Chain A
Amino acid sequence: MWENAALTITVFLPLAGAGVISLIPKAREEQARTVALLVSVLAFALSLAILGSYYLGGNSPAPGELSFEVNTEWIPAIGANFHLGIDGISLPLFVLSYLLTFLCAVYAFHHIEDPGKPKAFLALMLMLQTGMAGTFIAFDLILFFIFWELVLVPMYFLIGIWGGERREYAAIKFFLYTLFGSVFMLVAFLALYFRSGVGTFDIQELTALGAAGEFRGTFGLLAFGGIALSFAIKAPMWPFHTWLPDAHTEAPTIGSVLLAGILLKMGTYGFVRIALPILPEAAAAYAPIIAVLAVIAILYGALCCLAQTDLKRLIAFSSVGHMGFVMLGIATLTPIGINAAIFGMVAHGIITGMLFFIVGSVKDRYHTRAIAEIGGGMNQVLPRMSGLMMFVGIASLGLPGLAGFWGEMFALLAAFNPAPVLQEAGYLPLYRTLMVLGAVGTLMTAGYFLYMFQRVNQGVAPQRWRDAGLGDVSVIEWGTWLPLLILIPVLGFLPFLVTGITDAPVTELFNRVFG
């Protein structure tokens, strides 16, 4: 029973919770926070139970198979099935989405941006959770698409209503840009459906067909292009990233955390789960281009960060570079690169999520995001907050021993020896050059973070902030952040907590598809 229902319950529980919240009368609106917390705690507990049974209960499936699988007819007319399942590739991101939503629900007790309205805000947040989690476990393209689009709507409102000054522009841009990509993705999905001959949207079946060479040639290239465009916008890959700084900067803190923590990973996850396995030949053709764009993103993102005068926008731009490392890992088409990419996604979710929490809290206190107005010396004014910011910043620049390191290191490692198919095509020198440039990117990443520390955290604080009596990290903030703060060194020293889950399915999948 639990076997069959676990995923369905876990995924739709937040949506049900959103329904319950919307029933709360306006007069008792504040209770929405409690309800949202309860729902997200319960959902997080369920996701942990799934993780636990995976780790402990011997429920880890044989490589290539899914656990907690549900596969029933859904829309027979078009052959779409309600196919959910989970494997090592999905699991880390799936659980991470519940963790972050839970922490956001805690943080909501601390602060919700104007115009308040916790009821609407939290209902949207829980809706978002269903969409995010569903994306990672859907094994039917139509179902995947539904979850994918489901994410758009609540995030659109979160940015558009609770966002900063340019919220409407940012929200519309986020929405339309993503939707623009979705169109191509959907077209490609449909094309696969018809081309498959058997009329299926099932990801596993399509993967098998793809491995058998069904989708070769121009068709494959076109289909991959459509799918990849959508994922590239979401990830975001350079040069499709320009929605991201606006959306991140204008979004409320919780929106930024979930956007950076989970939403971006939907794109990179899509590459790993759908684009590469179903269209391996096209993937090999596109991989060098993706790798080049990824390294451009790394260097370009770092340069843009260096030029920022807005703290939140700086963190937003840092995502461009970090996701560049993830894409570089993916573009190697090797198990090491994919493991690195998934690790990088998880690490980036934790670290950048945490950075957005901190920046949000900093803005609560200073009422500005402008670096020049903060004027340095945060170490003096908010010593704990500032210390946390530097700690997480150092994690973000990829210090070994903290979570940010492994994703970058192994993406570079994989780029030095990309997949045989790429080496045979003569791309080895290109990839090795990219690897060196990527390593230079780690230096530039360190550069902009250190420059940020100097301008924000160090130095002497302006008198007005010293007189302002700003409150340091509050109890709720500690409560929200501690899990992430602990995970950063834990994953840094024990990377097998993630790679131990991902390696078997990744290696199996890639040997099957690219072997």
Chain B
Amino acid sequence: MSEFAWLIPAVMALSALTILLFGKRMPRHGAEVGILALGVAFVLSVLVAVEVFSANVAAVAEVEEAHSVQSVWEVGGREVTLVVDAAEGGEAAEIPAGVHEFRLEQSTELSPIGGGFSIEAGTRIDGLTAMMFLLVSFVSLMVHVYSTGYMHGDPRYTWYFTLLSVFTFSMLLLVIANNLLMVVMGWELVGVCSFLLIGFWWEEKANSDAAIKALLTTKLGDVGLMVGVVGLWSEFGTFNITRIYEGVAAGDFDQGLLTFSLLALFIGAVGKSAQFPLHTWLPDAMAGPTPVSALIHAATMVTAGVFLIARLYPVYQASPTTLTVIAIIGVITLFAMGLLALVQDDVKRVLAYSTISQLGYMVAALAFSYTAGIFHLFAHGFFKALLFLGAGSLIHAVHSNNMSDMGGLRKPMPVTFATFVIGSAALAAIPPLAGFWSKDEVLAGAFGAGGYSGTLVTVLGGLGGMITAFYMARVLWLVFAGEFRGNGHPHESPAAMKWPLVVLAVPAALIGFVNLPFDFAHPRGFAAWTMFDLAYFEGHPVEFNLLLALGTTLLALLGIAAATAIYRRRAAVANDPMLRLGLFTQVLQNKYYLDQLYMGVIVRPLRDRVAPAAYWFNDHVLDRIVNLAGAGAVGLGRVTYRTVDQRGIDGVVNGIGSTANYTGNLLKFAQSGNVQLYAGALFVGVFVLGVLFAVA
């Protein structure tokens, strides 16, 4: 099946073209094409995943079997067989020949680019790809269905579905790529789709401002991405990911250049995955339609940076410096950005900051454990998409993003309420919901790794969990409890929006069970499924630490309890104590003043000062020189003509005469259109000059 995995992005490309060209004339204006295509893509993804995952599990089983030492004793005439797992204790298991993980690469050489290098178009199907396929196609399918309700009646309905298809195609392209150039392609394409969708309602300047900010900030990261890709190419002579792995394994590289390239690549990830300090675009990106926020700015595109680090995991392992940087950036992001969610009134912004914070967990996790990072990516995708779609349902009902216009929505919107509670609990890492298992894996991984950065991630990650629980409980109380504070009569959303919530609630609640943190589960569960290489299989990625799990759960419950105590009675934002904490509130409400910093120090000076100055220089200095030279030549010509030619030297020296013609009539010739004549004269003159020059 996997050899046909390229069909998954291909079917989305086809869908995009079909909707673009014929969507408007279709009964459902193109939405049906997108949904059908995604249905196909999802089924294919499941088939691919089953094949890949089961092959990986089988490979792990073989490795384990080969490493089981069978000791046979004779005890009282009977043979007793004792099986001991040699890999116990975290030793690197040697992989027997012939056993390998599932990996399928297909590629065609496309284009010579010179010097013997060529571009290839290729696909790489492995555990990571299959996992991303599942996530992307499932969430995208839900978002498509949901959007038929949410975007109903929008004048650009067809265009919206075109963009969703293009986006899904690009994201799948990014995931399936077997080489970094294709990764860059998918990466930039999703960025442009994000730009167009954030600014989907471009009539409002605020929306197009947000779109521009998003694209430019991520593009700033992409400068790093490009430099990094080029650096790796320079180091290993290829864009192919497998060959880069091999190059790293062979140890044949310059450590300095490698670290430089990986840091540069990480800047790309920082931009795309909204890590500090390039995270400021993501909250503004909420200007887009809410289903878009769910798909692009929560579940899929923003995880591209995390995906990139996971994709190059073995390469990153070769640079401990970079891993430390990753851990630090991740931990700053997860903690500091979580705090910002505390003071938001806009429900989407709460979710946006929580997304940034959760992306921080993923990034920090990848510094310690591959499985922990991508497991959190996977689980988060479901429950955060659920939360965003739930927020969309609320916004649809009350026509406002602000929680100050909500309240008391539990009764009129029971389905939204129930699913939102599940999503919130999953995000707050309440056992046994998805977020508990995935976040626990992150923290246990960091705790197990220990050291300075490991401890930092464990401590701040645990505290961050408490903050998460607090602000999600705050949202629940403010939105669903108390009296309705908005206008009109809110009611439950239509079926097209309700059902995706219900369906997404299932994985949000249960997906954690695919990766239970116990020894028996690892060789058969998520860790085995999604490995991209047996050599990096984390048979025992993290020990389940009961105390740690209990501790973080306790912290989460504490957060919920605190929020409950505060907001149960004061269910109005007006007297929200979070907004009355003096300097603390002020700093948070100003988002650490980063926006002001960027606008004031970079964007505005560049746009309003440097650019006009450059243009002034262009017109008043460079061009002035040209014009002065022209005027000077004309003047010189006139003087020559009057003094030398007219005043009767009279052709004594032919050369001077021709000079007069040359300069004096320059402009006149040109203006009267006698340029050909002039060119001919010039040609002769120059020939003479040339002879002189060559002889000299």
Q: How far is the CA of A187 from the CA of B195 in the complex (A)?
A: 52
> Least Cβ distance of B197 to chain A in Å?
14
Contact, CB under 8 Å: A454 / B618: no
Question: Which residues of A have CB within 8 Å of B184?
Answer: 400, 409
A220 CB to nearest B CB, Å: 13
Whether the Cβ atoms of A454 and B691 lie closer than 8 Å is no
B222 at interface, CB cutoff 8 A: yes
Cβ A410 vs Cβ B113 within 8 A: yes
Report whether B111 and A495 are in contact in the complex, using a CB–CB cutoff of 8 Å.
Answer: yes
CB of B671 within 8 A of CB of A172, answer: yes
Whether A496 touches B110, Cβ cut-off 8 Å, given contacts A443-B223, A447-B216, is: yes
Contact B113 A450 (CB under 8 A): no
Interface centre among A241, A412, A413, A435 (most CB of B within 10 A): A413
Q: Mark B606-628, 1 if CB is under 8 A from A, else 0.
A: 11001110110010001100100
Residues of A with C-beta under 8 A to B502: none
Question: Would you call B223 and A442 a contact (CB within 8 A)?
Answer: yes
Contact of A495 with B110 at beta-carbon distance under 8 Å, contacts A187-B693, A239-B622, A303-B611 already known: yes
Which chain A residues border B185 with CB–CB below 8 Å? 400-401, 405
A377 to B675, CA, bound (A): 44
- B243-260: CB near A (< 8 Å → 1, else 0) gives 000000000000000000
Contact assessment for B112 and A496 in the assembled complex, using a CB-CB cutoff below 8 Å: yes
Chain A residues within an 8 Å CB radius of B181: 400, 409
The answer to whether A339 touches B114 (Cβ under 8 A) is yes
The interface residues of chain A lying within 8 Å CB-to-CB of B119 are 495-496
A149, A186, A503: the one contacting B113 at CB < 8 Å is A503
Give the residues in chain B near A176, CB-CB below 8 Å.
630, 666, 670
Asked if residues B690 and A443 are in contact (CB atoms below 8 Å), the reply is no
Measured CA separation A457–B196 after assembly (Å): 12
B183 and chain A: residue at smallest CB distance: A400
- In the complex, the answer to whether A242 meets B234 with C-beta atoms within 8 Å is no
- 163-201 of chain A: CB within 8 A of chain B: 168, 172-173, 175-177, 179, 183, 186-187, 189-191, 193-195
CA distance A4 to B459 in the complex (A): 80
B306 at the interface (CB under 8 A from A): no
B694 & A334 in contact (Cβ 8 Å cutoff):
no
Are B694 and A194 in touch, CB under 8 angstroms?
yes
**B199–A458 CB distance below 8 A:** yes
Residues on B with C-beta less than 8 A from A172 are 667, 670-671
Binary interface profile of B, 195-213, with partner A (CB < 8 Å = 1, else 0)?
1000100110100110110
Q: Is the interface of A mostly helix, strand, loop or mixed?
A: helix
**Interface 9-mer from A54-62, A152-160, A264-272, A356-364:** A152-160
Residues of B within 8 A of A339 (CB): 112-114
In the complex, whether A8 has a CB less than 8 A from a CB of chain B is no
Q: CB-CB contacts of A272-289 with B at 8 A, as 1s and 0s?
A: 000000000000000000
Q: How far is the CA of A394 from the CA of B614 in the complex (A)?
A: 24
Name the A residues within 8 Å of B212 (CB-CB). Answer: 450-451, 454
Contact partner of A499 (CB less than 8 A), chosen from B114, B195, B230, B671, is B114
Are the C-beta atoms of B690 and A190 separated by less than 8 Å? yes
**What residues on B are CB-neighbors of A183 within 8 Å?**
682, 686
A500 at the interface (CB under 8 A from B): yes
Decide if B231 touches A303 in the complex (CB within 8 Å): no
The answer on a CB contact under 8 Å between B690 and A187 is: yes
* Contact status A458-B202, CB under 8 Å: yes
Q: Is the CB of B690 within 8 A of A189?
A: yes
**B112-125 vs A, Cβ < 8 Å mask (1 yes, 0 no):** 11111101000000
Residues of A within 8 A of B234 (CB): 416-417
- Chain B interface: which of A23-31, A102-110, A304-312, A469-477? A304-312
B487 at the interface (CB under 8 A from A): no
Which of A179, A305, A500 interacts with B111 by CB under 8 Å? A500
CA of A307 to CA of B611 in the docked complex: distance in angstroms?
Answer: 5
Distance of A109 Cα from B623 Cα, bound (Å): 36
Interface size on A, residues (CB 8 A): 80
**Which residue from chain B places its CB closest to the CB of A501 in the assembled complex?**
B112
CA distance A156 to B674 in the complex (A): 11
- Quick check: is A326 within 8 A (CB to CB) of the other chain? no
Distance A204 CA – B643 CA, assembled complex (angstroms): 48
Q: Tell me the complex Cα distance, A496–B666, Å.
A: 47
Q: A222 to B110, alpha carbons, bound, how many Å? A: 41
Interface string of B25-42 (1 = CB under 8 A from A): 000000000000000000
A368 contacts the other chain (CB 8 A): no
Residue of B114, B115, B607, B690 with most partner-chain A CB within 10 A: B114
Q: How far is the CB of B611 from chain A (nearest CB, A)?
A: 4
Asked if A243 CB lies within 8 Å of chain B CBs, one says yes
CA gap between A60 and B287 in the complex, in Å: 54
Q: In this assembly, does A440 line the interface, its C-beta being within 8 Å of a C-beta of chain B? A: yes
Contacting pair A194 B691 (CB below 8 A): yes
- Are A308 and B675 in contact, CB atoms less than 8 angstroms apart? no
Question: Which of A239, A417, A436 has a CB less than 8 Å from the CB of B227?
Answer: A436
Q: Which residue of B lies closest to A441 (CB)?
A: B223
Task: Please indicate the chain A residues that have their CB under 8 angstroms from the CB of B687 in the complex.
Answer: 186, 190
Chain B residues whose CB sits within 8 angstroms of the CB of A399 once the complex forms: 188-189, 192
CB atoms of A186 and B189 under 8 A apart: no
Residues of A with C-beta under 8 A to B606: 303, 306
Q: With A190-B686, A190-B690, A409-B226 as known contacts, state yes or no: A394 contacts B192, CB within 8 Å.
A: yes
Do residues B691 and A335 form an inter-chain contact, with CB atoms below 8 A?
A: no
Bound CA–CA A487/B686 (angstroms): 42
Chain A residues near B215 (CB, 8 Å)?
Answer: 446, 450
In the complex, chain B residues whose CB is within 8 Å of the CB of A503: 112-114
Decide if B208 touches A242 in the complex (CB within 8 Å): no
Question: How many Å from the CB of B470 to the closest CB on chain A?
Answer: 37
Q: Is A459 located at the chain interface by the 8 A CB criterion?
A: yes
- Hey, which chain B residues are within 8 Å of A300, CB to CB? 614, 618
Q: Which of A352-410 contact B (CB under 8 A)?
A: 377, 379-380, 394, 399-401, 405, 409-410
Which residue in chain B gives the minimum CB-CB distance to A390? B196
- Enumerate the 8 nearest inter-chain pairs by beta-carbon distance, A residue then B residue, closest first: A190-B690, A194-B694, A496-B111, A335-B114, A306-B611, A458-B202, A307-B615, A400-B185
Could you list which residues of chain A lie within 8 angstroms of chain B, going by C-beta atoms?
149, 152-153, 156-157, 168, 172-173, 175-177, 179, 183, 186-187, 189-191, 193-195, 222, 239, 241-243, 300, 303-308, 334-340, 377, 379-380, 394, 399-401, 405, 409-410, 412-414, 416-417, 435-436, 439-440, 442-443, 446-447, 450-451, 453-454, 457-460, 494-496, 499-500, 503-504, 506-507
Using A439-B223, A496-B111 as known contacts, list a sample of 9 further A-B pairs with CB atoms less than 8 Å apart, ordered by residue number in A. A153-B679, A177-B626, A186-B686, A186-B690, A304-B611, A377-B203, A380-B203, A450-B216, A459-B205
A and B contact pairs by CB, cutoff 8 A, 7 listed: A190-B691, A300-B618, A336-B113, A400-B188, A410-B114, A417-B234, A439-B226
